[in-house]
Amino acid sequence: MITNIKVNKPSPLKIRENLKSYTKGSNIDLTIQELLKGNEVLIDVFFSDGIKLVKELHEYLKLNIPNKSFQEQRDYRSTYRKLSNLILLEVINQKLCVKKSPKIGWLKKLYSENDHFFLTFPQIQGLNSAWQWYENGISLPVLRNKIHPYYGTYFPTRFEHLVLFNNWLKYYKGAKKSAIDVGVGCGVLSLQMVQAGFQKVYGTDINPNAIIGLSEFMGTTKLSRKIELDFGHLFGKWDKQTELIVFNPPWIPGGKDLTNIDDAIYYNETLFPDFFKEAKKRLLPEGKLLIIFSNLAQITNVTSEHPVETELVNGNRFQLERCFKKSVKSASSKTKRDQNWRSSEEVELWVLTSN
């Protein structure tokens, strides 16, 4: 078990005095005005009051912020995140104080040293959802067993890219002594490689929760001898050459101020240049470098640049062996976002070799 790194969790907020509260009979317009002024609002009777306030906040934002284009949706979510995180819940002895609230195991598991504090309503919602996924497990079409993602760890909700990788593994005829999984996350790609017969997989991640969670998941089973983990940027401490390097990076360029979970979704301008430079050092002469990516950023006009194509043209380090592509299924009819671009989205599996 890895115990020398600190888990990433929502910071407990200190006790607030004289907070305005919201209950079922409160004036919703006045409450939203308080949020717009930057004032915190406490949910202190029923958990459902928080759900109601969040719903009303969404209704207000829909009337005031366009929510059609990809960029507009990002702006909408940013504003919602800012305002909703002013809605607070009180926690005493690792339990929510409000009535009819869910039982969230993370409160005891992550906050054993905190007896009295506040968290924001979205943080509690996130902890609650994460606990359900962790407790019940998630089935993936490419794995025999369920995964149990730890709090704050990215896990796939779409599977086309995993199927691409699984199909490639079925026809891979190279050596299977070792592989490196850069950005191991909840461990899906590493588990796929072990399932395909790789003797040893070295996984890294800059998110401590990914390392802690996967380490806990494996325990002292045979998996813990096949998958070795390191908390670090890109390749971490793994500097030996290997026959296979796998990288499922973020698919959308983002800013500099990213959270741990954002790091699984958005990439900064140095990520790919740094990765390709270090990958060149660690790939055996006959090895394969696999990058799982998508055309999402291009078809939504976030950027016209494709980082893998840029490397192939300018890097002089790797050459393209093949690029596999798979169309993405249409968005669920239940989704409230306009996702018309999904009809032209493709996930990609780039197979590169050293020059």
Q: Is the pTM of the predicted complex or chain greater than 0.75?
A: yes
User: In this structure, what CATH number is given to the domain that contains residue 230?
Assistant: 3.40.50.150
Whether 331 shows a pLDDT value over 90: the answer reads no
* pLDDT recorded at residue 337: 44
- 37-56 residue pLDDT tens: 999 999 999 999 999 999 99
Q: How many CB atoms lie within 10 A of CB 116?
A: 13
* Phi and psi torsions of 43, nearest 5°: -95, 115
What six digits make up the tokens of 241? 């050459």
- Give a three-class secondary structure readout of the chain: CCCCCCCCCCCCECCCCCCEEECCCCCHHHHHHHHHCCCCEEECCEHHHHHHHHHHHHHHHHHHCCCCCHHHHHHHHHHHHHHHCCEEEEEECCEECCECCCCCHHHHHHCCCCCEEEEEHHHHHHHHHHHHHHHHCECCCCCCCCECCCCCCCCCCCCHHHHHHHHHHHHCCCCCCCEEEECCCCCHHHHHHHHCCCCCEEEEECCHHHHHHHHHHHCCCCHHHHEEEEECCCCCCCCCCEEEEEECCCCEECCCCCCCCHHHCEECCCHHHHHHHHHHHHEEEEEEEEEEEECHHHHCCCCCCCHHHHHHHHCCCEEEEEEEEEECCCCCCCCCCCCHHHHHCEEEEEEEEEC
Residues 180 and 128 in one domain: no
d(CA 182, CA 180): 6
- 93-106 residue pLDDT tens: 999 999 999 999 99
Whether 206 shows a pLDDT value over 90: the answer reads yes
- 157-175 residue pLDDT tens: 889 999 999 999 999 999 9
Whether 11 shows a pLDDT value over 90: the answer reads yes
Between 338 and 130, the higher pLDDT residue: 130
Residues 112 and 250 in one domain: no
Residues 127 and 145 in one domain: no
Domain span at residue 262?
Answer: 137-354
What six digits make up the tokens of 149? 């993602």
CB within 8 Å of 155: residues ≥ 6 apart: 133, 138, 147, 149, 185, 186, 188
* pLDDT recorded at residue 264: 63
Q: Report the chain's mean pLDDT, rounded to a whole number.
A: 90
* pLDDT recorded at residue 338: 42
Residues 316 and 344 in one domain: yes
Whether 70 shows a pLDDT value over 50: the answer reads yes
d(CA 42, CA 20): 6
d(CA 191, CA 162): 11
Instruction: Give me the number of domains the chain comprises.
Output: 2
Residue 1 lies in a domain: no
d(CA 77, CA 69): 12
Residue 344 lies in a domain: yes
Percentage of the chain modeled with pLDDT above 90: 76
Residues 298 and 177 in one domain: yes
* pLDDT recorded at residue 302: 81
d(CA 11, CA 262): 17
Q: At what angle do helices 160-171 and 188-195 cross, to 10 degrees?
A: 30
- 248-296 residue pLDDT tens: 999 888 754 445 455 567 888 899 999 999 999 999 999 999 999 998 8
Residue 142 lies in a domain: yes
Residues 263 and 320 in one domain: yes
Residues 124 and 259 in one domain: no
Q: Residue 84's closest CA among 118, 114, 56, 63?
A: 56
Whether 74 shows a pLDDT value over 60: the answer reads yes
* pLDDT recorded at residue 262: 55
Please report which confidence band the pLDDT of residue 333 belongs to, taking 50, 70 and 90 as the band edges: very low
d(CA 269, CA 4): 30
Q: How many CB atoms lie within 10 A of CB 21?
A: 13
Residues 102 and 146 in one domain: no
Q: Residue 342's closest CA among 325, 330, 354, 355?
A: 330
Q: Tell me which residue has tokens 């009180």.
A: 90
Residues 316 and 255 in one domain: yes
What six digits make up the tokens of 103? 């039982």
